[in-house]
Structure 1
Amino acid sequence: MPQIDMPLQQLYEYAGVNPKPDDVDAYWDRALEEMRSVTPNVELVPSSFQTPNAECFDLYFTGVRDARIHAKYVRPKGSSGPHPAVLQFHGYTGGSGDWHDKLNFASLGFSVLSLDCRGQGGYSEDTGGVKGTTHHGHIIRGLNDHPDNLLFRHIFLDTAQLAGIAMELPEVDPERVYAMGGSQGGALTIACAALEPRIKKLAPVFPFLSDYKRVWQMDLAKDAYQELRTFFRHFDPQHVREDEIFTKLGYIDIQYIAHRVKGDVMMGVGLMDTICPPSTQFAAYNKITSSKRLEIYPDFGHENLPGFLDKTIQMFLEE
């Protein structure tokens, strides 16, 4: 079989190479304290898009650093009693997308909350200097500042805050809240379940934001990871600060919060993925201690994995 990374057996044993900050758990405990101190001021605004079987809303809440965060919210009409909910997270620089791809879950009796990551392709604010979109460069935002100011810290917290909001909706069963997403969305699925461990099931696909130094070593700091190369070229051209920079990135490396996940995990991996190399994905997967399984696609890269969404729906429907 062709391969762009380690053999599969080595992947199952791989522990990651990015430096781990000594205080990473305290870092996230402190971050969660900040999140819980925020009054979210949740607002539901009926959308102009409506269907006979589902109600559609723009949901807004205030996240850390006073950013106003947006998510699409779809709930089934006529539901009797609390029902399950699915949190959806999108790929890097994207947005929550159109309404239509939420309706499949609504037709099955699920509410759906689809986050816009702050400053990317949707309506969530990035308050780091300007309001609105900043689009790219989010991995390196804050690298020359205190770790508490890393932008992905705030985005990770937005996912956990959205989960908590979902669990407090009267129509949602807080014991049946699930999460899903691919690439950046896969990373945020893991981050969400790590920082809000009441998430019962999660289905990440080829997660991003893991084992940054491995990406660098494989000379794959391009495409979604291009900004790592750009940062070094502009701000540390001789790599004098390399250890410091990768250690700081360790705070927003999902492999170092994956042990917090308590829910059941089904993760999709394409072994020919040159965007998020398989080893970086396994670095996170191997640290998950809850019930977990992999769906491996040997000939696929960073692309649609046939049948995985069907498996996700079946997983979420299982009692």
Structure 2
Amino acid sequence: MPLVDMPLHELEHYQGRNPRPADFEEYWDTALAEMRAVDSNLELTPHPIAADFAECFDLWFTGVGGARIHAKFLRPKGKADCPAVLQFHGYTWHSGEWHDKLAYVANGICVASLDCRGQGGLSEDVGGVKGPTHKGHIIRGLDDAPEKLLFRSIFLDTAQLAKIVMEMPEVDANRVSAMGGSQGGALTIACAALEPRIRRAAPVYPFLSDYRRTWEMDQGGSAYEEIRHFFRMHDPRHTREEEIFTRLGYIDIQFLAPRVRAEVMMGVGLMDNICLPSTQFAAYNKLGGLKSTVVYPDYGHEGLPGFGDITYDFLARP
């Protein structure tokens, strides 16, 4: 088959190229302490939808930095001790339609679908960083203190949502899982890393991994074009290259992966030229627990036939 990256037998051993910050663990321990100190100020507002087996709500909470964060929350009517699934969406998008979550609810599973702050949904982006913000969220805060990186806040939002859902009286906290594709795949891994009680995780071609590898493979366009733009406008001779990629290492999911305790099933297309397979395997290969891949040799960053059904069966399993 044609290749856009390494052959599969090399991918299965690849360990990544991006530099890891020396204080990475301390950085995230401090971030989690900040998140836990926030009063979530949870608000649930009923949302009408024609499903007599489901109750639907707009869920709002306060995240780090004071931003009000939105998620769709659906639960089976009149049931207790329910499992739950957290859903995370692709880059710039939103939490999706209400109806596309009802299959899980009909099977007795609660669903919480996050709107990432500042993207296509309702969540608030409080801003307030030094340096450029043009083109995207990866570079937001890159010229400020590491704590100002926007994806730090977004990663923490996923863990805070997980904690909120786990504390709901109708949810069995031991049966909460996560899923998502592209950015949503990255957030699935980040959530499972920062909230180790997540039971199962189903990321699909995860984004936000091994930034330097993407750059070296000249795949800096499309989803990663903001990094190219940052260098062109703010470091055209790459005098700060090591510093910049090391700073991005704080929000590189491959370094969060060792914290994951969930069982992981990852979908990957070997023709993916948006999120290169090697960048995905850089994270996957660092997972220490039970894990598996579902590989599509002729598919790229697109719908993977049958994977939705495979994911449903994986997450709905007792």
Q: 1:135 to 1:62 in 2, by over 3 A?
A: farther
The aligned residue for residue 13 of structure 1 is: 13
- Structure 2 Cα separation of the partners of residues 213 and 26 of structure 1: 23
Deviations 1:60-113 (A, max 9, x none): 00000000000000111121x211000000000000011011101001100000
The aligned residue for residue 218 of structure 2 is: 219
The aligned residue for residue 305 of structure 2 is: 306
Shift of 1:312: 1.1
The aligned residue for residue 33 of structure 1 is: 33
Pairing 1:71-220 to 2, within 5 Å after superposition: 71-79=71-79, 81-129=80-128, 136-220=135-219
Shift of 1:17: 0.3
Query: Secondary structure of 2:12's partner?
Result: helix
Shift of 1:138: 0.2
- Structure 2 Cα separation of the partners of residues 237 and 306 of structure 1: 41
Structure 1 runs (4+) greater than 6 angstroms displaced: none
- Structure 2 Cα separation of the partners of residues 68 and 263 of structure 1: 28
Q: Say how many residue pairs are matched.
A: 315
Deviations 1:182-230 (A, max 9, x none): 0000000000000000000000000000000000001111111000000
The aligned residue for residue 54 of structure 1 is: 54
Instruction: Out of 192-201 and 300-309, give the one that drifted further.
Output: 300-309
Deviations 1:40-74 (A, max 9, x none): 00000011334211111000000000000000001
The aligned residue for residue 229 of structure 2 is: 230
Structure 1: any 5+ residue segments left out of the alignment?
A: none
AA at the equivalent of 2:32 = L
Shift of 1:136: 4.9
- Structure 2 Cα separation of the partners of residues 183 and 218 of structure 1: 18
The reply on whether 1:246 has 2:245 as its aligned counterpart is yes
CA contact 1:265–1:291 (8 Å) conserved in 2: yes
- Structure 1 Cα separation of the partners of residues 134 and 170 of structure 2: 34
Instruction: Out of 90-99 and 43-52, give the one that drifted further.
Output: 43-52
Question: What is the root-mean-square deviation of aligned Cα atoms in Å?
Answer: 1.2
AA at the equivalent of 2:170 = E
Q: 1:297 to 1:176 in 2, by over 3 A?
A: same
Pairing 1:217-296 to 2, within 5 Å after superposition: 217-296=216-295
- Structure 1 Cα separation of the partners of residues 31 and 135 of structure 2: 23
Query: Secondary structure of 2:75's partner?
Result: strand
Q: 1:136 to 1:100 in 2, by over 3 A?
A: farther
Instruction: Out of 308-317 and 194-203, give the one that drifted further.
Output: 308-317
CA contact 1:159–1:192 (8 Å) conserved in 2: yes
Shift of 1:307: 1.1
AA at the equivalent of 1:88 = Q
